[in-house]
């Protein structure tokens, strides 16, 4: 109801602008109110991430990826929060985002379960936290994916971890213009995303595989 009081209504992609316009035009004063300003990323940072040596620590023959530093509550030290590094010889998929309905993690897990029925050389990492965390953990167990799906939680090193994986997956039901897709593109990752306006605006032209949102 407040849109009529603003001079400009801006979206982060042309596809999102058109989608919003088709649904919300009754709240606009005129078509000329709408416009587009695209999101962008820190290209220099992404170049550093892409060209950096692998962020892997080896301890007793096992390889770990550092997710961040955690101050110890018991001693004046800092602990390293780490995750088992993506296995060599495996095709590693990763997604990141809030554990909430619009991110569609349940659909992704059901789809990945079908992949696991046909292949044993795949792994999936879901980075993030949110209100559907417990439900997602239960679904991983129900689908018997505990050996192939990993939920390490939130990490400030998410982009660095993305660089360790083979393919980025974005199963969202809706997005404006996903920054993480820009980051995946900058890191030359293979991409699978649901065919929604925000993702379509970045991947049209063959930059990723689009699949129907279910």
Q: Tens of pLDDT along 117-150?
A: 999 999 999 999 999 999 999 999 999 999 999 9
* Range 4-29 average pLDDT: 91
pLDDT score recorded for residue 183: 93
Query: Distance between terminal CA atoms of the chain?
Result: 31
Alpha-carbon gap, residue 118 to 44, rounded angstroms: 39
> Which residues, at least 6 apart from 154, have a Cβ–Cβ distance to it below 8 Å?
127, 128, 129
Q: Report the run of H or E that residue 32 belongs to, with start and end.
A: none
pLDDT score recorded for residue 88: 72
Alpha-carbon gap, residue 92 to 88, rounded angstroms: 9
The residue written with tokens 């590693």 in the block is 92
User: pLDDT tens across 175-197, in order?
Assistant: 888 899 999 999 999 999 999 98
Q: Which residue has the higher pLDDT, 38 or 121?
A: 121
Longest Cα separation, the chain: 66
Q: Which residue has the higher pLDDT, 23 or 61?
A: 23
* Range 34-57 average pLDDT: 82
Q: For residues 82 and 152, is the Cβ–Cβ distance under 8 A?
A: no
- The pTM of this model reads 0.83
């Amino acid at each position: 109801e407040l849109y009529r009081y603003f001079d400009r209504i801006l979206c982060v992609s042309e596809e999102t602008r058109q989608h919003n316009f088709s649904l919300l035009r009754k709240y606009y004063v005129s078509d000329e109110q709408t416009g587009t300003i695209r999101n962008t990323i820190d290209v220099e940072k992404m170049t550093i991430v892409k060209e950096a040596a692998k962020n892997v620590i080896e301890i007793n023959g096992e390889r770990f990826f550092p997710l961040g530093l955690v101050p110890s509550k018991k001693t004046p030290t800092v602990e390293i929060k780490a995750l088992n590094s993506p296995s060599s010889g495996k095709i590693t998929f990763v997604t990141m985002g809030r554990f909430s309905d619009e991110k569609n993690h349940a659909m992704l897990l059901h789809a990945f379960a079908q992949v696991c029925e046909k292949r044993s050389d795949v792994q999936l990492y879901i980075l993030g936290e949110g209100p559907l965390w417990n439900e997602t953990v239960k679904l991983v167990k129900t689908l018997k994916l505990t050996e192939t799906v990993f939920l390490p939680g939130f990490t400030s090193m998410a982009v660095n971890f993305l660089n360790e994986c083979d393919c980025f997956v974005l199963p969202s039901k809706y997005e404006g213009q996903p920054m993480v897709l820009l980051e995946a593109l900058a890191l030359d990752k293979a991409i699978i995303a649901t065919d929604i306006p925000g993702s379509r605006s970045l991947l049209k032209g063959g930059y990723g595989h689009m699949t129907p949102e279910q």
